[in-house]
Chains A and B, each alone.
Chain A
Amino acid sequence: MSSVYPVPSTRASGLLASTRLLTQMQSDYLDLLRLQSQVSTGRRITLPSEDAPAAQRAIILQRLLEQKTQTRTNLETTNSYTSASDAAIGSVSSLLINAKATALGAATNLVSDSDRSAAAADIDSAIRQLTQLANQKFRDRYLFGGSRTGSAPFATDGSYLAYRGNEGVLRSFADLGLLYESNKSGADVFGTYSQQVTGGSDLNPVLTANTSLSELRGGLGITRGSIAISDGTTTSIIDISRAATIGDVAAMIEANPPSGRTIKARVTSTGLELQLDTAGGGGLTVKEVGAGTTAAQLGIFHPISTGTGPLVGHDLNPRLTPTTKLADVLGARAIAVIRSDGKDNDIILEAREVGAADNGVTVQFVDEDLLQAGPALQAGFETASYSDTPVASRAALSFTGFNNNLLLTASTPGLAFNNVEIELVDAGAIGNNATVNYDSSNKRLTIGIDSTGATEVQAIIDALATEGTFTASYDPSDPVDGGFSPTATVSAVDIGTVRGNTGNSGGDANTIYVHIDPGATTANQVVAALANDPTISARFDVRLDLTDKSLPINAGLAPVSINATGTTIEGRGEPLDLTSGLRIVNGDQTYVIDTSSAQTVEDLINLLHGSGANVLAEINANGTGINVRSLLSGANFSIGENGGTTATQLGIRSFTGSTALSDLNFGRGVETTTGTDFTIRRRDGYDLGVDVSGATTVQQVIDRINGDVNNQDPATQVIARLAAIGNGIELIDTNSAGIATLAITQAFGSSAAADLGLVPPGSTTTTAATSGSNQVLTGRDTNPQEVLGVFNTLLRLRDAIGTGDLGEIERLSAQLDVDLNRVNFARSDLGQRGQALDSISARLDDDEIQLKDSLSKEIDVDLIEAITNLTARQASYEASLQLTGQTFRLSLLDYL
């Protein structure tokens, strides 16, 4: 409603009256129009600004209502899938119950062959019906393919049935922010996977600079907060929120040291290592900022000063990812960083193989000038060499005159005589004699000669030999000196001027010596020299430490420090055997997986998936290793070695020493008897009795054979071990002198040998095959895995009924109960979901009514009020018009 302005108090004029009346009329008319529009549209407001707070609430309510409409569609769709799945599963139970009845009927010896084949045919027909059900499609979606809804999830070749779906869950929003599952995968309903073949082995991938922070701590990741690094005087707060990799964190720490100090941060194979420079000030501490946990998570929380030593962070335990390199698992490569003063000159030496063997190799720089009297080594001509034995320290003495240059070599090899100073002194008029004195505390070798130059070079050699610390020989390196002449004298001019120093020429075993031109040889030249040596480059990868560079173009261009040194550390573990490969048996097929081309975990998984072995390989939930499962129902599945240790190292061998005997033969275990269960006849004719009773694992059985007191003579003993190719226990008798044949005979009343796979099923004895001069008896794999599910049970049941294998029928009958339980569980789950969806739907109805009610309150017009207002406004308008008419009629002129 328009406002009305006050009447001026002083004077009134005709124009004032007409303007006021016009304004009043306009205002009344506007209000009338507004009310009329409210009544006709039913809306209290047409533009939001007419009632801004109500309009804002209304806008949100309108959106909620729109969203609820979509939610209803979602609910209905989810409900339709749930019902369709429920209906499909409905008939599974009855089929399974029928199959169980058939199985029980066939589980006796009294059934005729024709009855048995009729029963088998019944089961076969049940399998076909179930396959059809399992491949059912609804609204273009395969109901039981997990999240692979586009293709039929079950494929059969008659003998076996493979699952092509996954365990994926499809979800849609049943309400705002409420995700609801709309499918049940074939795995949940029918059971489509074998038990996971997983060992306890942690592949323990190595930390690299590129390891993402989210992969650390077994995949828990690092909270990207701040850390406080202090040298006791000043503190630097480092915000790592922009860091993505552990290398970023190291770089950020290096870039933000406490003021005035420098920090070297290195990513080791397990964690971070921080080293504060040796300049003055306190030791390094790393603390949290505020109530953060970043430093602790990074493994470098260290509130107490480290002193001068480095801060070695905890193991950050990166998880296995598809891109983890297989060369980076199961151990770390030995590494050394050779740090020189200043920038652009640090060098990294890293072993090519994982393992501890390359630890402890030291790199030393040797000043070539000190070692020979001849012309100096020029930068660019560096050489490198490796010695696995200690090397003696050496120094050259270049005397005035000819034929007299000497090379002194320490009598004891090693580091002890490095940096020994050698000087020539005046020993007085001693004639052709020399004195030698070694001051071990000052590392100084003093050679005294005749003050008139009468001392011959041989006299010095002899004197040194007598003293014993060093030996001397002629140094032929300088061609100008001519050849050796024992009678060449040493001039008195040389006294006090000719000096020598052993420098870094001596070293312990396992040292790499790089001969350089100090002050001129650059890091790049050292790297080239190391790479040029075939022995070194075969073992080590040498490269620049790029974190030390000042500018990219300057990397490696600064000279190295003569005393810089580094020793390889942190090598551990063993390399993964990728050359042998894996041997997978699934059904009738054996698949040999050649793993030699695999570089990453994903390559390995791809090789397994692409092998056609119908297996599913994936990284386990903890990110420590890979799991392999079979997808082929009705088939025996096992993973074994192909002559090496690949499967064992990856932890995916299905038959290992720790396999429990009770798990063998599909859980039937190993049947033993009191006393000897089977006898091994060795080639020497000795019958070795083996009692399996009490053993719980395969390794214990092997140990019993190998540890038997009568089987300890190396000449005659038979060795039991896990088969080198495939799975099973293998016996080897290398006694070529023996006359008997290695054989096993099962004792009466025991089926242990058969159950362990040492004799074929149904027989009681077996003999070894000859392999070269050895005799080898390879057992069967009696720990095959199988898919735990409806189809596996039924396929096996069909075959067991066909062959009349009563034990198997019994086992599978019990298995059918498990299957039935799974199906019923899935069904009840679906039923429950249906109920929940119904109740959500009911709640949605309530919500919708409430929302509409609220919306109506906000923006809909109250008709009674509006019409009342309209009437009132009409009356006021009428009055205004009347008044206008009357007022304008009044005039003094009428009365004149």
Chain B
Amino acid sequence: MSLFSTLQISNNALIAAQLGLQVVGNNIANANTPGYVRQDLLLQPAPTQRYGKLLVGTGVEVAGIIQRSDALLQERLRSATSDLASSEAQQDVYSQLETLMGELGDSDLSSSLTSFFGSLNDILNQPESVSVRNLAVLQGQTLATDINQLDSRVRTLRSDANTRVVAIAEDINSLTQQIARLNVQILTAEGGNPSASDAVGLRDQREVALNSLAKLIDVKAVEQPSGDVTLFVGGDYLVSQGTARKVIVDYTTDRGLSIAAIKLAETDSPLQSTAGELGGLVAARDEILGGFLDRLDDLTKSLISGFNLIHASGQGLTAYSSLTSNRVSDTSVALDHAGLAFIPTNGSFQVIVTNKQTGLSKTHTIQVDLNGLDQETSLADLVSALDGIDGLRASLTSERQLQLTTDSSPVEFSFANDTSGALAALGLNTFFTGSSAMDIAVNNIVRQDPSKLAASSSGVGEDTRIAELLANFFDTPLNGGNSLAVQYDKFVADTVQGSALTKSASDGFRTFQQTLEGQSLAITSVSLDEEAVKMITYQRMFQANAKLIAAIDEMLQILVNL
């Protein structure tokens, strides 16, 4: 025990105060740095010295500089961030979808549908007018185009979401590499002993990278005793110490789009991430947008098949002199297995052959035997049955289509009473062509000659029974089920409700995430007032120790002057 040792104590205290001020200074300097975790100087009493019987303290010792953060809270925050990112991605897509549908406005699909069926009502008002029929054809085209456009816009949204998925793969790779690198640096800096001082800036950077990654995928970060973090996604590890596993993009085809899936390059197994922006985008792409496309397709199919089924049994203001059917996959197999978009059933249809000169018609019933037992009707059978009709010539084209022509110019033909759906399925005497939202269109024949729009049921231009059915088709229950109107309403309602649900879910996640973030900020971020208090404390500590040194100096002076 000597004065010098006391001087040494003061010296240590002065160093501690200076370090304290440096930590405070660092905290104040980083008060607004995002991701910065405030630091604290850990002071502890230095070990005691035995002096005779006494144990004398040897002053203060700086134990380390540590970061103030709650690892568990950070982990929860990351998880909440993932959920929020996922639901925000979905909400985003939903609101774009709603804007595309334009419901509540005047340019939505609902208005197109109403206008189209309204124009059919006008045929009832003026059945003799070709121009009114032309208007109905034009409205039909508008409706078809609206459906096409809605379909193609939603497909664009899907493709955008898909592009973002590809970009996310690159982001993941760059973030995981960064984290792996930081792991090594932190390990080197801390020497594998994180209980002492933290590798401050490096850990902050790693935290920022982890949070960014959490926005993309629902990643689980586990800090190892040595200070490095291991990242898990699902059951697979993504980063371990200095190794980052690379992810790659793999493509498959779904609903006409080459969709991207992110996989681990090493094992070729898909990344099991349901949350994060990636999860949200995949759900948006496959379930929300994909589901929307499916529903739109179903609705369009109902429209095409139901409308055509009625239309095919009717006659326009003029009859046909030639007609070509849709293509089948095989002309000799039963029509319900011939690859047609709409499947005909057991039944029959009638062909009416009219001689324009005499005005007389002859009806021929063509059986379409699809009862599932034997003698099932194929396209080739239909051709021979139709070819057997006096005045008609039926043949198969090289494209596996049915071609119907008449023997001579005054002879024309029309169709009636199709109970089999074969005419509609083969595209004979139909209004719409196509079989999905992507390719629905108005039949070229009707487009070029609106007088072919079938309104009559008892002969060319005779009555308007078919037009009555067509005009009321929108509100007529289909196959004993829902009408097209109800189907459409359900379609819109499901989308709108999905959107509303996602929005409220996303609000919930946001509140939760913000709460956690608030808690985290409360722990990790800098309070200037607090730092000011610490600053004064260290200042005073410095002053007091300086005074002590002055006192010892005086005492030494006395000793020297003895």
Contacts and interface: CB of A to CB of B under 8 A. Distances in A.
Interface in B500-550: 500, 503, 507, 510-511, 514-515, 517-519, 521-530, 532-533, 536
A74 B471 CA distance: 12
Interface residues of B, number: 89
B519 A8 contact: yes
A144 B485 CA distance: 36
Given A52-B500, A245-B367, A78 B125 contact: yes
Interface string A50-79: 101001101110110011011101100110
B31 interface: yes
A681 interface: no
B226 interface: no
A56 B496 contact: yes
B345 A242 contact: yes
A302 interface: no
Contacts of B365: 210, 212, 323
Interface string B155-178: 000000000000000000000000
B346 A147 contact: no
Contacts of B503: 49
A117 B251 CA distance: 97
A244 B419 contact: yes
Interface stretch (A93-101, A173-181, A877-885): A173-181
Nearest to B68: A11
Nearest to A855: B104
A739 interface: no
Nearest to B539: A896
A55 B122 CA distance: 30
Interface in B184-204: none
Interface in A1-53: 2-3, 5-8, 10-16, 19-20, 23, 43, 45-50, 52
B121 A70 contact: yes
Interface stretch (B262-270, B300-308, B439-447, B456-464): B456-464
A141 B104 contact: no
Interface string A815-837: 00000000000000000000000
Contact of A255 (B118, B373, B462, B518): B373
Nearest to A45: B104
B484 to A, nearest CB: 12
Nearest to B115: A66
A892 interface: yes
B461 A148 contact: yes
Given A20-B518, A141-B126, A49 B525 contact: no
A16 B528 CA distance: 12
B522 A8 contact: yes
B241 interface: no
A237 interface: no
B553 interface: no
Contacts of A150: 128, 317, 461
Interface in B376-426: 419-420
B525 A16 contact: yes
B532 A896 contact: yes
Given A11-B522, A19-B518, A892-B528, A48 B492 contact: yes
Interface stretch (A105-113, A536-544, A565-573, A602-610): A602-610
Given A177-B472, A891-B529, A149 B103 contact: no
Contacts of B463: 147, 168-170
A23 B514 contact: yes
A5 B104 CA distance: 33
A715 to B, nearest CB: 52
Interface in A600-636: 600, 602-603, 606, 609-610
Nearest to B536: A896
Contacts of A62: 104, 110-111
B361 interface: yes
B152 interface: no
Q: Which of B32, B475, B489, B525 has the most CB of A within 10 A?
A: B525
Contact of A322 (B363, B529, B532): B363
A66 B489 contact: no
A59 B486 CA distance: 12
B94 interface: yes
Nearest to B345: A242
B98 A48 contact: yes
A49 B499 contact: yes
Contacts of A172: 121, 124-125, 471
A734 B523 CA distance: 134
Contacts of A149: 127-128
A847 B490 CA distance: 24
A251 interface: yes
B95 interface: yes
A48 B124 CA distance: 35
Given A19-B517, A48-B104, A251-B371, A244 B346 contact: yes
Interface in B479-493: 485, 489, 492-493
A67 B94 CA distance: 29
B496 A55 contact: yes
A252 B124 contact: no
Interface in A135-175: 139-141, 147-150, 166, 168-173
B521 A15 contact: yes
Contacts of B471: 172-173
Contacts of A20: 518
A243 interface: yes
Nearest to B524: A13
B358 interface: yes
A859 interface: yes
A248 interface: yes
A552 B127 CA distance: 49
A13 B526 contact: yes
Nearest to B31: A14
A291 interface: no
Contact of B364 (A176, A323, A606): A323
B128 A14 contact: no
Contacts of A55: 103-104, 496
B373 A252 contact: yes
Contact of A147 (B374, B462, B519): B462
Contacts of A10: 519, 522-523
A171 B468 contact: yes
Contact of B126 (A70, A140, A891): A140
Nearest to B420: A244
B560 interface: no
B511 A3 contact: yes
Contacts of B485: 63
A610 B346 CA distance: 35
A194 interface: no
B332 interface: no
Given A13-B525, A173-B471, A892-B532, 9 more contacts: A10-B519, A20-B518, A66-B115, A171-B124, A242-B346, A248-B346, A610-B360, A893-B528, A893-B532
25 contacts: A2-B510, A6-B515, A11-B522, A13-B38, A13-B527, A14-B32, A14-B527, A23-B514, A47-B99, A49-B500, A52-B496, A59-B492, A66-B115, A70-B114, A73-B122, A73-B125, A140-B128, A141-B126, A244-B367, A244-B419, A244-B420, A323-B350, A323-B363, A549-B374, A896-B536
Interface of A: 2-3, 5-8, 10-16, 19-20, 23, 43, 45-50, 52, 55-56, 58-60, 62-63, 66-67, 69-71, 73-74, 77-78, 139-141, 147-150, 166, 168-173, 176-177, 179, 182, 210, 212, 214, 242-245, 248, 251-252, 255, 322-323, 546, 549, 552, 600, 602-603, 606, 609-610, 859, 891-893, 896
Closest 8 CB pairs of A and B: A49-B499, A70-B118, A15-B525, A172-B124, A13-B525, A77-B125, A8-B522, A16-B521
Interface of B: 31-32, 38, 94-95, 98-99, 101, 103-104, 110-111, 113-115, 117-118, 121-122, 124-129, 317, 345-348, 350, 358-365, 367-375, 419-420, 456, 461-464, 468, 471-472, 475, 485, 489, 492-493, 496-497, 499-500, 503, 507, 510-511, 514-515, 517-519, 521-530, 532-533, 536
